[in-house]
């Protein structure tokens, strides 16, 4: 009822009965009785050491010597069984028993060789091994094998050391044949008059003319305006750059090759 009114209501001063919430019924297993019965069953039968009532043997029936052994009349077939030697069913496939300490079984091939003396003679006649060459590469004395260090000249001792490899010989032969064929072709074309060779004076004249043209184009290129804001200016700049690049290629080719041939039209 207190929740129906505000905190400052006068009805809050009236004591209210505490309403307890109803609890759900506790769960009980349907096997409870069966489990309880099984737990109580046979629980206190043997609480002490052994059964509660034990038949005490009579003092007259004490244990006598050989009283537990079977008599000959009671043995029956057991007597015959014990007289036969025991054998396993797979005795044919079983390994032989371990020899006793007193036995000296013969194992493997027998020899009369005295291995102690023979080994001593071999060691006295053997050549001592030579130590492997090493080198020290640190101040602490770390040792490394000299053979794998690269400091030993191993390749100079090969049979084919100093000889030209086969692939280089073949390549040089192909280059020589190609050069001879080219020389023959040039001589034949010169004989036919299809082309001629430039002399040194003509070569120098052509080279000077190309350099002079490049200087003229360079002066024109340097005279362009700094701001390229129109299409004609842009086209003129690109044309000058292309012509200068072509002249540079031609100058480099003529300076590189001393012999130049010109085809006759």
202 belongs to a structural domain: yes
- Is a pLDDT exceeding 50 seen at residue 39? yes
CB atoms within 10 A of CB 236: 15
191 belongs to a structural domain: yes
Residue 71 pLDDT class (50, 70, 90 cuts): low
3 belongs to a structural domain: no
110 belongs to a structural domain: no
> How big is the CA angle at 20 (ends 18 and 24), to the nearest 5 degrees?
175
Classify residue 152 as exposed, middle or buried by CB count within 10 Å of its CB (0-12, 13-18, 19+). Answer: middle
198 belongs to a structural domain: yes
Q: How far is CA 105 from CA 96, 102, 116, 126, 261, in A?
A: 12, 10, 22, 35, 103
- Do 1 and 11 meet the contact criterion of CB atoms below 8 Å apart? yes
- Domain containing 257 equals 166-263
Q: How many domains does the chain have?
A: 1
- Distance (Å, whole) CA 195 – CA 189: 6
Residue count (the chain): 265
Q: What is the DSSP letter of 11?
A: G
Average pLDDT, integer, range 129-138: 89
pLDDT digits (tens, 9 = 90+) for 174-232: 999 999 998 888 888 878 877 888 888 888 999 999 999 999 999 999 988 888 889 99
- Is a pLDDT exceeding 90 seen at residue 40? no
Q: Is 81 helix (H, G, I), strand (E, B) or coil?
A: helix
Q: Give helix then strand counts, H and E, for the chain.
A: 7, 4
14 belongs to a structural domain: no
> How big is the CA angle at 101 (ends 98 and 107), to the nearest 5 degrees?
60
pLDDT digits (tens, 9 = 90+) for 104-124: 777 777 788 899 999 999 999
pLDDT of residue 9: 75
Please name the residues in contact with 145: beta carbons below 8 A apart, sequence gap of 6 or more: 132, 133, 134
pLDDT of residue 47: 66
255 belongs to a structural domain: yes
- Is a pLDDT exceeding 50 seen at residue 164? yes
213 belongs to a structural domain: yes
Residue 92 pLDDT class (50, 70, 90 cuts): confident
């Amino acid at each position: 009822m207190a929740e129906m009114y505000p905190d400052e209501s006068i009805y809050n001063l009236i004591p209210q009965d505490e309403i307890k919430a109803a609890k759900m019924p506790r769960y009980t297993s349907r096997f409870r009785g069966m489990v309880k019965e099984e737990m109580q069953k046979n629980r206190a039968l043997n609480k002490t050491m052994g059964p509660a009532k034990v038949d005490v043997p009579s003092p007259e029936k004490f244990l006598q010597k050989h009283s537990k052994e079977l008599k000959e009349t009671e043995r029956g077939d057991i007597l015959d069984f014990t007289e036969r030697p025991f054998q396993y069913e797979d005795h044919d496939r079983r390994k032989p028993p371990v020899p006793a300490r007193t036995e000296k079984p013969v194992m493997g091939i027998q020899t009369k060789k005295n291995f102690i003396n023979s080994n001593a003679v071999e060691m006295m006649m053997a050549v001592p091994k030579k130590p492997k060459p090493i080198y020290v590469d640190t101040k602490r004395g770390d040792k490394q094998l000299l053979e794998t260090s690269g400091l030993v000249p191993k390749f100079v001792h090969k049979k084919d050391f100093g000889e030209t490899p086969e692939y280089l010989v073949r390549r040089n032969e192909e280059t020589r044949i190609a050069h001879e064929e080219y020389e023959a072709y040039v001589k034949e074309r010169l004989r036919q008059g299809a082309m001629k060779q430039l002399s040194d004076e003509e070569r120098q004249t052509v080279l000077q003319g190309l350099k002079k043209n490049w200087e003229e184009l360079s002066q024109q290129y340097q005279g362009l305006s700094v701001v390229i804001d129109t299409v004609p200016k842009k086209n003129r700049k690109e044309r000058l750059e292309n012509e200068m690049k072509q002249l540079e290629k031609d100058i480099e080719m003529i300076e590189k090759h001393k012999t130049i041939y010109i085809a006759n039209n």
